[in-house]
A and B are shown apart, each in its own frame.
Chain A
Amino acid sequence: MASLLQFREISIRFHASGTGLAVASPVAEPNAEVSGTRPVWAVDGLNLSIDKGERVALVGESGSGKTITALAALGLLQDVELRGSIQWKGEELNGASATRLRRLRGKEIAMVFQEPMSALNPLLTVGRQVGEVLEAHEGLTKTQAFERATDLLQKVGIDDPARRARSYPHQLSGGQRQRVLIAMALACQPELLIADEPTTALDVSLRQQILELLLDLQEETGMAILLITHDLPIVKRFASRVAVMQQGSIIETGDSESVFQRPSHPYTQRLVQSQPRPLVGAPGPRDILLDVRQLHCDYAIPTGLFRKRRFTAVHRENFVVSKGETLGVVGESGSGKTTLAMAIMRLAPARVTGLVKLNGVDLLGLSSAALRKARRRFQPVFQDPYSALSPRLTVRQILEEGLRLHRPELTWQQRLDRCESIMAEVGLSPEGLQRYPHEFSGGQRQRIAIARAVLQEPELIILDEPTSALDLSIQQQILELLVMLQQTKGFAYLFISHDLHVIRSIAHRCLVMQYGKIVEFGATEHVMSSPRHAYTQQLLDAAFPEERLQAFERDRLASMANRPVPRALRLDEQAS
């Protein structure tokens, strides 16, 4: 079969000035920018071909050049040096005229971007935006285009499309917006759809739905799909062929099955293995450190000039954290996980009632002076390593701050010694103390943030999605570091994550939150293997499809289950 799109020996280099991207890339590498490295080949001698109707996944960590490659095919790169040949059905695209490329975009090759929030124009109704593509490429009138747009919205699974077509982007949910973007991409029935991390910004169960939608549409229209992602489980389920990218070149390609079963390149092996693996055992006997009873948080949301509505983020919930153990908190965004953590630390701008006892001390009842003293005992680590460290202080100043406050008796030398030893413990060189945060990578910064928390000798560390901004391999390293620190220092973790793989790997016990309520609480392995609540089951279906499939089979054999067949099963049936 003749290939649809073929990249031959593609090399891309940015010119010294500007970022080079015509489209703002959410994965712009802040490190390359600040560390002053000279521009190198972002893509270096890349070969890739996509056949008609094929589902290809381009996998790699951030900064490996995935997005740039895709943008090159559409001629969307500016200020770059582009070498090699890009052939679209035998036609050379590198050096093609701007007019030709504009005709090509949207009509023959369409693209879906990662960020459904910023990819839609907030001032136009979604019907208009979808219709716009049709007006531009197919010469339809406004009314015709709007009608077709409504049809398309229906096709991508938006309920009540006639009404939704008249909605503005902000009136839609994240998943609906992503569907609209897909509808836009499909408007002119392209032969190739490039989906750049289409599910990354979405919650687990929405990811599942969007993926199913893409699969359905692909079956129906027979278009080829190039999926760009760093999310391996999605690739596993979606792609028929996988290309693994590292530092601008493709190091391994092959059909999905064989790449996952028998990865040949060491990097691929690492990538496949960097799926979090269990790091902790079963929970021990309960020795309660943090006792939370009837915790209730609500915010006031102004609805008018003087009127307010109260929004409850956490509904009178109870749970405990045992000494030296990790409690994982799972839930989708907006489920109240972060508010819960912030309320415990008394950092939430919400009204908090209930009882939070840390080693017998009621945190909610402390006066502000006593609270400041007690803060040493519970320390946070945040999600975004780029905003967690004050940019104008050296690492040493950042680390010392808490010591100066809580251990004023320490001398200059003792403080320095502590900082140096903690740096070694988190796996950084002590020379880094004199440096500023911008000189470190994301993973290194997260290590510094952990060091800052550990240095206060806390009893509890509250980690709010500490690994979700990091690449897979670094994520695994951070998790190992956390477990090692816990085993040597004996503090407990309250670990918030939406990623069940991570929770399974690190948490002794876990609780599942939905709409501000705890729907499930128990030992992690128990919750994962026999979830009781439907919402937990849904999350698990999305996270561990194969395992859940086996469980489903077991259940079906026992003729107990009545749940709908998970998507992965349906695919398997078709394949066989």
Chain B
Amino acid sequence: MTAMTAMQANTPSSQSLGRRAARRFWANRRGRISLLIFLAAVFLSLFAELLSNDRPLVVSFQDELYFPLIHNYPESTFGGDFETSTDYLDPYIRKQFDSPGNWALYPLNEYSYDTLNYFASQPNPAPPSSENWMGTDDRGRDIAARLLYGFRVSVFFGLALTAIGVLLGIFFGALQGYFVGKTDLFFQRFIEVWGAIPELYLLIILASIFEPGLLVLLVILSLFGWMGLSDYVRAEFLRNRSLDYVTAARALGLRHYQIILRHVLPNSLTPVIAFLPFRMSASILALTSLDFLGLGVPSSTPSLGELLAQGKDNLDAWWITVPTFAVLVGTLLLLIFVGEALRDALDTRRVQ
């Protein structure tokens, strides 16, 4: 043996491509901070019920503990007159809780997204005050609460839409790119026809048939949201399937699904991952636009788009438009910063 090619001792410890990309992403300050802020905001919004609600978290009334968040207690429990569920904003109930021996722990903001304050001191929409920190909308609902819940709905709708779109996109893209030939030809033509259906008209028509809710919107937008991505995945598959390591895997006798899952797919995900944050911001924007146009969720659901529409209708009520706009722009900006950092981290042409 002339050449005992010894491993270089001074090479840094071995890292997979994915881990190196993660390290590059983490080294990007703007992307890292954006991601942390975004995650913190999402985490907080998960506990929206604890932060902003029209019920106290815990009530101690006549030496008994009550959890209004979990159970509905009739007003009579707390010394009221009716068997209907308690309105905790009622000054009478408040007085009951304030009496000696009783106490109640209220959330930070004492309104939920659909709470109507019947005891408001100002006409709706009311400007910011000590009661409603960001004012109320034209139906007297607290803006801060609606923003918090609306942010959560938007983010999770975006996440769901992105996830479904990515799964469908990968599936159809992989199918076309790996099997090529007639399969490819068929799906390409199918996508051309499918992509030519005007999405907005379909939504308007369907909105008149169904009661539009989040689920209906999710299904309809998902039906059209996978095509762009499937083209990228298809192109990556077309490139990767012809590489020698795929041929070598075939020569080993692996089945198609093994080759796809183990060899082709992991190497074809770069565009998918790089586009994730951008797709997510696009999804959030799509929901917001539909809500703004009145084609989206019913107005009881907290939604950024619906708030924007209200802001448009009540131009003098700046406290509706400005915070909503800020939340929307902030969310999209954070996602775009994360996306840019991710794209740079995955770009193998950039040498660090």
Beta-carbon contacts under 8 Å, B198-236 to A: none
9 contacts between A and B (CB under 8 A): A33-B351, A36-B11, A347-B250, A372-B255, A373-B253, A374-B253, A390-B263, A431-B7, A477-B5
Does B15 lie at the interface of the complex (its beta carbon under 8 Å from any beta carbon of A)?
yes
Residue of B nearest to A377 (CB): B253
Contacts of B255 in A (CB 8 A): 372
Contacts of B263 in A (CB 8 A): 390
Contacts of B5 in A (CB 8 A): 427-428, 443-444, 447, 477
Does B99 lie at the interface of the complex (its beta carbon under 8 Å from any beta carbon of A)?
no
Distance (Å) between the CB of A174 and the closest chain B CB? 21
Contacts of B4 in A (CB 8 A): 427
Q: Out of A19, A33, A347, A477, which one reaches B247, CB within 8 Å?
A: A347
Q: Out of B1, B14, B248, B262, which one reaches A388, CB within 8 Å?
A: B248
> In the docked arrangement, what's the CA distance between A41 and B196, Å?
57
Given contacts A390-B263, A392-B17, are A477 and B3 in contact (CB under 8 A)?
yes
> In the docked arrangement, what's the CA distance between A480 and B243, Å?
27
Distance (Å) between the CB of A412 and the closest chain B CB? 18
User: A128-136, A156-164, A434-442, A558-566: which lies at the B interface?
Assistant: A434-442
Distance (Å) between the CB of A194 and the closest chain B CB? 28
Distance (Å) between the CB of B143 and the closest chain A CB? 48
Does B249 lie at the interface of the complex (its beta carbon under 8 Å from any beta carbon of A)?
yes
Given contacts A35-B11, A392-B266, A429-B7, are A484 and B248 in contact (CB under 8 A)?
no
Beta-carbon contacts under 8 Å, A306-347 to B: 345, 347
Does A545 lie at the interface of the complex (its beta carbon under 8 Å from any beta carbon of B)?
no
> In the docked arrangement, what's the CA distance between A35 and B335, Å?
32
Task: List the 4 shortest-distance A-B pairs measured between CB atoms, nearest first.
Answer: A375-B253, A372-B253, A382-B244, A388-B244
Contacts of A345 in B (CB 8 A): 251
Contact B245 A388 (CB under 8 A): yes
Given contacts A388-B248, A428-B5, A429-B7, are A405 and B254 in contact (CB under 8 A)?
yes
Report how many residues on chain B are interfacial, defined by Cβ distance under 8 Å: 32
Distance (Å) between the CB of A465 and the closest chain B CB? 11
Does A384 lie at the interface of the complex (its beta carbon under 8 Å from any beta carbon of B)?
yes
Contacts of A36 in B (CB 8 A): 11-12
Contact digits for A226-241, partner B, Cβ 8 Å, 1 yes 0 no: 0000000000000000
Contact B253 A390 (CB under 8 A): no
Given contacts A376-B253, A387-B245, A405-B254, are A429 and B17 in contact (CB under 8 A)?
no
Contact digits for A401-421, partner B, Cβ 8 Å, 1 yes 0 no: 110011000000000000000
> In the docked arrangement, what's the CA distance between A217 and B175, Å?
55
Beta-carbon contacts under 8 Å, B1-35 to A: 1-8, 11-12, 14-18
> In the docked arrangement, what's the CA distance between A447 and B243, Å?
18
Contacts of B252 in A (CB 8 A): 375-376, 379, 401-402, 405-406, 456
> In the docked arrangement, what's the CA distance between A87 and B331, Å?
60
Contacts of B76 in A (CB 8 A): none
Distance (Å) between the CB of B273 and the closest chain A CB? 13
Contacts of B248 in A (CB 8 A): 380, 382, 388, 449, 452
> In the docked arrangement, what's the CA distance between A387 and B15, Å?
18
Beta-carbon contacts under 8 Å, A430-487 to B: 431-432, 434-436, 438-439, 443-444, 447, 449, 452, 456, 476-477, 480-481, 484
Does A284 lie at the interface of the complex (its beta carbon under 8 Å from any beta carbon of B)?
no
Given contacts A392-B266, A427-B4, are A375 and B14 in contact (CB under 8 A)?
no
Distance (Å) between the CB of A441 and the closest chain B CB? 8
Residue of A nearest to B19 (CB): A436
Contacts of A202 in B (CB 8 A): none
Contacts of B7 in A (CB 8 A): 428-429, 431-432, 435
> In the docked arrangement, what's the CA distance between A203 and B15, Å?
39
Distance (Å) between the CB of B56 and the closest chain A CB? 53
Contact A375 B251 (CB under 8 A): yes
> In the docked arrangement, what's the CA distance between A452 and B4, Å?
18
Contacts of B243 in A (CB 8 A): 387
Does B267 lie at the interface of the complex (its beta carbon under 8 Å from any beta carbon of A)?
yes
Contact A384 B17 (CB under 8 A): no
> In the docked arrangement, what's the CA distance between A451 and B245, Å?
14
Contact B247 A405 (CB under 8 A): no
Distance (Å) between the CB of B189 and the closest chain A CB? 13
Q: Out of B11, B17, B254, which one reaches A401, CB within 8 Å?
A: B254
Contact A391 B17 (CB under 8 A): yes
Contacts of A500 in B (CB 8 A): none
Does A389 lie at the interface of the complex (its beta carbon under 8 Å from any beta carbon of B)?
yes
> In the docked arrangement, what's the CA distance between A402 and B247, Å?
13
Contact A392 B18 (CB under 8 A): yes
Distance (Å) between the CB of B317 and the closest chain A CB? 51
Given contacts A382-B247, A401-B252, A401-B254, are A427 and B16 in contact (CB under 8 A)?
no
> In the docked arrangement, what's the CA distance between A380 and B249, Å?
10
Contacts of B266 in A (CB 8 A): 390, 392
> In the docked arrangement, what's the CA distance between A432 and B18, Å?
19
Distance (Å) between the CB of B251 and the closest chain A CB? 5
Residue of B nearest to A385 (CB): B244
Distance (Å) between the CB of B81 and the closest chain A CB? 69
Residue of B nearest to A342 (CB): B247
Q: Out of B12, B244, B251, B262, which one reaches A384, CB within 8 Å?
A: B244
Contact digits for A16-49, partner B, Cβ 8 Å, 1 yes 0 no: 0001000000000000010110000000000000
Contact A401 B251 (CB under 8 A): no
Distance (Å) between the CB of A381 and the closest chain B CB? 8
Distance (Å) between the CB of A172 and the closest chain B CB? 26
Contacts of A393 in B (CB 8 A): 262
> In the docked arrangement, what's the CA distance between A429 and B252, Å?
24
Distance (Å) between the CB of A201 and the closest chain B CB? 20
Contacts of B1 in A (CB 8 A): 427, 480-481, 484
Contacts of A435 in B (CB 8 A): 7, 14
Distance (Å) between the CB of B261 and the closest chain A CB? 12
Contact A392 B16 (CB under 8 A): yes
> In the docked arrangement, what's the CA distance between A554 and B4, Å?
44
> In the docked arrangement, what's the CA distance between A389 and B254, Å?
15
> In the docked arrangement, what's the CA distance between A19 and B3, Å?
31
Residue of B nearest to A380 (CB): B251
Contact B251 A434 (CB under 8 A): no
> In the docked arrangement, what's the CA distance between A374 and B251, Å?
10
Identify which of B8, B248, B263 gathers the most chain A CB atoms within 10 Å of its CB: B248
Distance (Å) between the CB of B9 and the closest chain A CB? 10
Residue of A nearest to B258 (CB): A405
Contact A401 B244 (CB under 8 A): no
Contacts of A379 in B (CB 8 A): 251-252
Contact A436 B245 (CB under 8 A): no
Distance (Å) between the CB of A31 and the closest chain B CB? 10
Distance (Å) between the CB of B282 and the closest chain A CB? 28
Contacts of A452 in B (CB 8 A): 248
Given A35-B11, A382-B247, 20 more A-B residue pairs with CB atoms under 8 Å apart are A33-B351, A345-B251, A347-B251, A372-B255, A379-B251, A380-B251, A388-B248, A390-B266, A391-B267, A392-B266, A401-B249, A402-B253, A405-B254, A406-B252, A427-B3, A428-B7, A429-B7, A436-B17, A439-B14, A444-B5
Residue of A nearest to B16 (CB): A436
Contacts of A447 in B (CB 8 A): 5
> In the docked arrangement, what's the CA distance between A500 and B30, Å?
57
